[in-house]
Structure 1
Amino acid sequence: MAVQPEGTPCWADAMFSDVEGAKSFYGEVLGWTFGEASSEYGNYTQAYSGGKAVAAVVPPMPGQEGQSAWCLYLASPDAAATAEKIRSEGGEVLMEPMKVGDFGSMALVRDPGGAVFGIWQAGVHEGFESIGEPGAYAWAEVFTREPEKSDAFFPAVFPFTAQQVQDDAVDFRVFNVDGNPVLGRMRMTDDFPPEVPSYVNVYFAVENCDEAVSKATKHGAVLRFGPMDSPFGRFAALSDPQGASFSVIDMKATQGDMPEMADVS
């Protein structure tokens, strides 16, 4: 796939203290196969679905051990400039922009509400080779307790326009690039334990949501929510055996009418 427009999700990876365990789990649940670990880049290992690169797993760097989590990367034509913008808009740069050989340049950042994500300036590695197909990235949402901070921050840093779902029961917003939805923003309710910080929830597409959930729980995952029908597909939220949160969605199994959306500035 070509380099994605600025602000569009373009890659996802996760650190796992037990990389072999992660490979086994995601291989079973999402059908991933894995390339050779790149010792030059901290044993970074790409995951493939149908022969196309869809994500990566990596062991933690010394001193970086902790909770496993998926990291979503947003495309940037200039990682250094985007990092500066993030700072000026009240975000934090956790890892300064750095070149990763000729693959590209990356940075790790945090929005003012506490959600961590990455920036990717493509070199020869342009990002996802497949999107929306079973086993590949499908969608992502920023879950935050302080939506007003995210709502101001993201369109100030990226060329986003925003739409708000017109439903009093849910506080949900969609960010668009060139009229295409690229990222959701969900207010965290009291259903979330207070110790759970803001985070970016990554969805992977599957052939059948219920079967994926069954496989995941059989292999040690915890079901957090769902499976549930929606106009976007049947989905469920899980934590993998090492604690990394992710969701699965069958985008063919849609049910109900699309929600009404209103443009917001």
Structure 2
Amino acid sequence: DGLSGDGARSRAMGAGARQVSGAPAHSDATRTSPSCQLLCNVHQTGQSWHSQPPLEDCMRLNPSFAGIALRSLLAVDLWASKRLGVCAAEGSAWGGARPLMKVVEVSGHGLPWLLGTAYGLCQSDSAATREVLLNLLFALLLDLVLVAVVKGLVKRRRPTHNKMDMFVTISVDKYSFPSGHATRAALVCRFVLHHLVLAVPLRVLVVLWALIVGISRVMLGRHNVTDVLFGLFLGYALYSVVEYCWLSPLSAPALFALWSS
């Protein structure tokens, strides 16, 4: 028994010596994955990594970084949207300006723009004017479809402080992302500035109108800040699509013949 005890102690001391002289021991929770260790070796030796295993193991070392960043962004977005919703109700900080903000809301709504463009198209007797109005109508319809699709896919609810008294809503209008008003304002702004000859003060007013429409969506509590920012970006980019698909008597003769008759 004494010999066996001495042997056990000798083996334990030998194992401890090997641990001290070798690499430090790691627990299962902190052990570096083989792929990450191999990536470190590659980095240190300067070898090529094209033949090495994939890097998913390295990404798993910190799997929540992207989630934490996204949650932080959303938290800031919700906080800022709540603070800026000063016209969300009559009792809000700027509740007295709510009627004016609702007038701005109507000015950026799709229905007045669609009806006004269609009426102008029917009353116009100029081929050039009809071409511009027909493409504006196409842009407005494309905007409605695109915004509805994105809202249906994202399904982000409107801010909790929003008062559901919006002007002429449809089913997807219960969703918040992106802001259709902001998208339409940016789209119409670029369209008008590009195709109408306006004096500088009027051009400035058009840009201010687009910005005010976007800001009013947050002030009324209709949207979060990111809804409006993405909406403005989407509308700005959508105009490029309209320009690329521009309808003319050469590209769509049947359509122009219909409106000319």
Place the TM-score, normalised by the shorter chain, in its bin: under 0.3
Normalised TM-score (structure 2): 0.22
Higher relative contact order (CA 8 A, sep 6+): 2
Question: Greater CA radius of gyration, 1 or 2?
Answer: 2
Normalised TM-score (structure 1): 0.22
